[in-house]
Structure 1
Amino acid sequence: MAGHLLSIAALLFSTFLMLVAGGLAGILLPLRAGLEGWTPTTIGWIGTTYALAFTAGCLVVPRLVLRVGHVRVFSVLLTLLSMSLLLHSLVTQPVAWMMFRAIAGFSLAGGYMIVESWLHERVTNETRGMVFSIYMIVSMVGLLVGQYILPFGNPATQTLFIICALIYASALIPTALSNAQSPKPLTQVSLDLKGLYRRSPAAVVGSLIAGIIAGSWNFLAAVYGEEIGLSTLGIATMLASAMIGGAIFQYPLGRASDFVDRRYVMVLAGVIGLVLSSAMVFINPGTGWPVYLMMFLFGSVLYPIYSLNTAHANDSADPSEFVEVSSGLLIVYGIGSMTGPQVAGRLMDSFGPSGFFVTMAICFTAYGAHAFWRIQRRSLSIAADQKTEFQFHSPEKQQTPETLQFNPRSDATAQD
């Protein structure tokens, strides 16, 4: 087992470095944009272009790999990631940042897919679950490390941008020097959204709303922290608190959904999200440990809702359709991620920082209400032992179609 892990150590290290740089960039760019005096709506547009390009990358990069191979494409993508961060530091202008962030979104999607396909190729049936779990842990730790680099620099200067670019560039080294053979071609996504909606409307609408929530959080939570007066260390801790809460509460919430109609758990998540969001608007816990505690609790529903959607959709699908169904939901989630920063940005412009959690309250209300409405419209009678097992998704780490192939469930379904 130790020998097997050693053989994929280079790939995991590349993943770690990409996530460290991604975690730093995800918090650095919104903060710098805020320091430049850009409105939340403008910052939201930067997030929208990133989400659009990330989704496009999931569709386009597999075709590029078919033409020139994994190593060349991976090298180009990491070069583009480094260039995008340096360009952000050289040209401080909103439209330019939208283009630079789009380059990063496209490149990150491709980078994740290539590393994940390599790992997928190297695992066996016996080690897939273990390697996938390690990959999720490495992803989460990388994001946390990246966020906590921020307090060691000043977002108003170029230093952190250069550091981030260097980390992206260094992520190429372990994989480029690895003796791992290039894997099979990347997963090509085929979509049948109408069929997916007919099969599981609660999962499709739920994924769209989950994307709006995630897009708002990923691109404007740091701006919210800045506007309520948190320091850079405080903003990093606020984001980390939500991530840790999501990691801890995903399992109990998911396991509960394995034994009851998952839509009831979706309703519960919507209610909890509404209550916590409303508390943030009306109570306004301020700074320090009260806001960290609230973010920890908020993370308990912020991150698990997408996993609930995926599990619910796969309950009514044939085992062999896991990747197809999950890929469709991933694209719907991506569409929501493009919309979220626009909605939250405009409400923050209108209501100040409280507009951020007004957005969250509206979205969680819609999420829970739609699930409740679907319960009234269609009853489900799936026995607990016939359900697909709830799967953990790493908080903040964006999924790709290759993540779905790498997921242990895809191997299990292929053998059914």
Structure 2
Amino acid sequence: MGAHLLPIVALLTSTFFLLVGIGLQGILMPVRAASEGWNAYEIGLMGTAYAIAFTAGCLVAPRLVKSAGHIRTFSSLAALLAVCVLLNGLWVSPFGWIPVRAVSGFAIAGAYMVIESWLNERVTNETRGLVFSLYMAVSMAAMMAGQFSLPKVGEGVPAAFMLCAVFYALAVIPNALSRAPSPKPLVQARLDLRMIWRNSPAAVVCVTLSGVLSGAWTNMAPVFGQRVGLSTAEISTLLVATMGGGLVFQFPLGRLSDRVDRRLVMVLAGLIGLSAALAGLLVWGSAHLPLFAIAFVIGGVIYPAYSLAVAHANDFARPTDFVKISGGLLILYGFGTMAGPMLAAWLMETFGPRGLFLATGASHVGFAAYAAWRMLRRPDVVPAAERADTASVAPVPITTPETLRRELA
């Protein structure tokens, strides 16, 4: 196994440093904004701006790499991320943070695509599952490490922004010194909505709603935590519990969907998420420990929801259309993540912190209801042996069209 991993050690090291910085920045900005007294709309706009630019990055980054090369593009984008987070520390204002957060989203999308294209080139069919599982494990561990580093430095001091910049700078070094050859050109996502809708209406609606769920929770959960009196360490635990739920639930829900109608599993996931949201409405202002358990369950639905919907779409797709459909669904997911923060912000401004659970609960209802309705409209005619493997679909939020190239192998 060591021989297979040796060529990607530098790449995974760069990935780790990059994701630690992303994890720290992702929790630092909403927590600091909430402590500054910004309203939910201003904080939600940061999340929406990030989602818009990230989706645009998936469309534009391949052109940058084609003209500048993989190493120079990655180094430039990591440097741009360091500049953005330092600017956030220098000018603490929604007028500055919203556009700068958008630039960060664009840079992160491009950096992900370079990393994932490199991984695709370094693996074989025999090692693909191992390498990408390791990539996801390293990425999730780095995100958690970044989130848990915030309590050590505190959101109210410049050191937190400086530490983010340090991690982004460190991410440049291993890739820049690597002697590995540059990979092939990047995959560019395209949106053919008519074709995707004809293939699977359930996937179109449910992928979009999974983006709403992810965008609402990821961007506004730190604000919820700050407003209900959680400490910085407890807010970090809230987010890590969400990610932990996604890791734990991803496999059993995916395996179950490989054996029964995936839409039935999607209905089940939506009902589990709705139950967690209702529990959150009951305990949001009381003990903190139940909130961590609720976040764990919500994460267990938010992240697998995307994988379930994409796998369902691929069940009905021709092999030659896998990347086109999955890339288009990723763009639709991006549209959902644009709407999610503003929906949560509106409900939190109207109903207080519990509005976050109203947003996630409503999205879970739509997710489950539409999947159930589609079960009545089209029977499940795909034999279990011919279904796409759910394990081949990476969980969002660390997926770009480059990861989708795995499905062609």
- TM-score w.r.t. the length of structure 2 is 0.97
**Equivalent residues of 2:42, 2:94 under 8 A apart:** yes
> 2:269 matched to which residue of 1?
269
Whether 1:362 aligns to 2:362 is yes
Q: How far apart, CA to CA, are the structure 1 residues paired with 2:133 and 2:398?
A: 15
Q: How far apart, CA to CA, are the structure 1 residues paired with 2:150 and 2:287?
A: 18
Superposition deviation, residue 395 in structure 1:
5.6
Q: How far apart, CA to CA, are the structure 2 residues paired with 1:207 and 1:137?
A: 23
> 1:386 matched to which residue of 2?
386
Superposition deviation, residue 285 in structure 1:
6.4
**Equivalent residues of 2:58, 2:400 under 8 A apart:** yes
**What is the correspondence of 1:13-32 to structure 2 with a 5 Å cutoff?**
13-32=13-32
**What is the correspondence of 1:6-405 to structure 2 with a 5 Å cutoff?**
6-284=6-284, 286-391=286-391, 397-405=397-405
Q: How far apart, CA to CA, are the structure 2 residues paired with 1:32 and 1:282?
A: 27
Task: Work out the percentage of aligned pairs sharing the same amino acid.
Answer: 50
Post-superposition Cα deviations, 1:125-166, rounded to whole Å, max 9, x if no partner, equal 221111111101101101111011011012111110000011
In structure 2, give the amino acid aligned to 1:7: P
**Equivalent residues of 2:246, 2:302 under 8 A apart:** yes
**Equivalent residues of 2:307, 2:394 under 8 A apart:** no
- TM-score w.r.t. the length of structure 1 is 0.96
Post-superposition Cα deviations, 1:147-205, rounded to whole Å, max 9, x if no partner, equal 11011012111110000011011100000000011111111223211110111000000
Superposition deviation, residue 254 in structure 1:
1.1
- The two structures, once aligned, show a CA RMSD in angstroms of 1.3
Superposition deviation, residue 393 in structure 1:
5.8
Equivalent position SS for 1:171: helix
Superposition deviation, residue 367 in structure 1:
0.7
Q: How far apart, CA to CA, are the structure 1 residues paired with 2:121 and 2:192?
A: 27
Superposition deviation, residue 115 in structure 1:
1.1
Q: How far apart, CA to CA, are the structure 1 residues paired with 2:94 and 2:208?
A: 27
Q: How far apart, CA to CA, are the structure 1 residues paired with 2:102 and 2:329?
A: 22
**Equivalent residues of 1:243, 1:396 under 8 A apart:** no
Task: Note the residue ranges of structure 1 that are not aligned, 5 or more in a row.
Answer: 412-416
Q: How far apart, CA to CA, are the structure 2 residues paired with 1:73 and 1:13?
A: 17
Q: How far apart, CA to CA, are the structure 1 residues paired with 2:130 and 2:213?
A: 30
In structure 2, give the amino acid aligned to 1:185: P
**Equivalent residues of 1:77, 1:107 under 8 A apart:** yes
Superposition deviation, residue 410 in structure 1:
2.6
Post-superposition Cα deviations, 1:229-257, rounded to whole Å, max 9, x if no partner, equal 11111111111112111111111111111
**Equivalent residues of 2:35, 2:226 under 8 A apart:** no
In structure 2, give the amino acid aligned to 1:94: P
**Equivalent residues of 2:310, 2:329 under 8 A apart:** yes
Q: How far apart, CA to CA, are the structure 2 residues paired with 1:235 and 1:359?
A: 19
Superposition deviation, residue 102 in structure 1:
0.7
